[in-house]
């Protein structure tokens, strides 16, 4: 069961947004820059669960926001102040703007009404991007966070959302990191302290409930 309060009270009509984090071809696709992470996301079912949640959100009128990390071909504006950034710059697959690497990965479907927010710097989908003002303009109070990775971007998204006053729901089986035993430990000892942890099926039960979530 969710660890904070019943999902039905958190996932109120018109005030819930579903966020996918770095679910892009160059991260979780067949030609990923991070094949171990891509394999974990696919084999463990996280990517399929994100797709299920997105489909339910589309059917139920819940706004979906896709957060994509990319870089310019010349690297201008990219962060270089951490080991992670320097290592990423040397990977054989680059998340270059306008290339297949930065397309939202199958089986996730992007609907016309979805918002795709791209960032050129940093670790978080919220800090220094359009995500926070868009959420406020949408009347968001509860943010469902899904995607990768549980090592870096997902915790950043959760903490930043909580710091900005949003209530966060994390479907534990719709996020993934490496190694495989790290994600459940991080959820239990870190994310569960600040977010409501649920399963994909529990969230879907709320999204799909009769007369469920509809955005005006």
pLDDT digits (tens, 9 = 90+) for 134-161: 999 999 999 999 999 999 999 999 999 9
Please give the pLDDT value at position 211: 54
Nearest to 148 by CA among 44, 58, 13, 15: 44
E strands along 137-212, which residues?
Answer: 142-148, 167-171, 175-176, 196-198
Mean pLDDT across the stretch 170-181?
Answer: 96
- 9-50 pLDDT, tens digit per residue, is 999 879 999 999 999 999 999 999 999 999 999 999 999 999
Report d(CA 66, CA 18) in Å as an integer: 8
Q: Where are the beta strands (DSSP E) in 11-141?
A: 16-21, 63-69, 115-119
DSSP at 208: T
């Amino acid at each position: 069961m969710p660890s904070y309060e019943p999902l039905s009270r958190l996932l109120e009509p018109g005030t819930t947004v579903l966020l996918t984090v770095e679910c892009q071809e160059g991260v979780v696709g067949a030609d990923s820059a991070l094949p171990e992470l891509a394999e974990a996301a696919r084999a463990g079912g996280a990517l399929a669960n994100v797709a299920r949640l997105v489909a339910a959100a589309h059917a139920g009128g819940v706004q979906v926001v896709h957060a994509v990390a990319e870089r310019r071909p010349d690297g201008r504006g990219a962060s270089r102040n951490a080991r992670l950034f320097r290592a990423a710059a040397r990977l054989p697959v680059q998340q270059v703007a306008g290339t297949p690497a930065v397309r939202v990965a199958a089986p996730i479907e992007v609907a016309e009404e979805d918002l795709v927010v791209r960032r050129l710097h940093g670790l978080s989908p919220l800090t220094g991007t359009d995500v926070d003002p868009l959420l406020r303009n949408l009347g968001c109070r509860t943010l469902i966070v899904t995607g990768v990775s549980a090592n870096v971007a997902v915790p950043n998204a959760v903490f930043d959302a909580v710091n900005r006053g949003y209530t966060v729901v994390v479907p534990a089986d719709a996020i993934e990191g490496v190694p495989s035993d790290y994600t459940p430990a991080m959820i239990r000892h870190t994310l569960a302290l600040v977010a409501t942890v649920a399963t994909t099926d529990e969230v879907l039960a709320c999204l799909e409930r009769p007369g469920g979530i509809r955005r005006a």
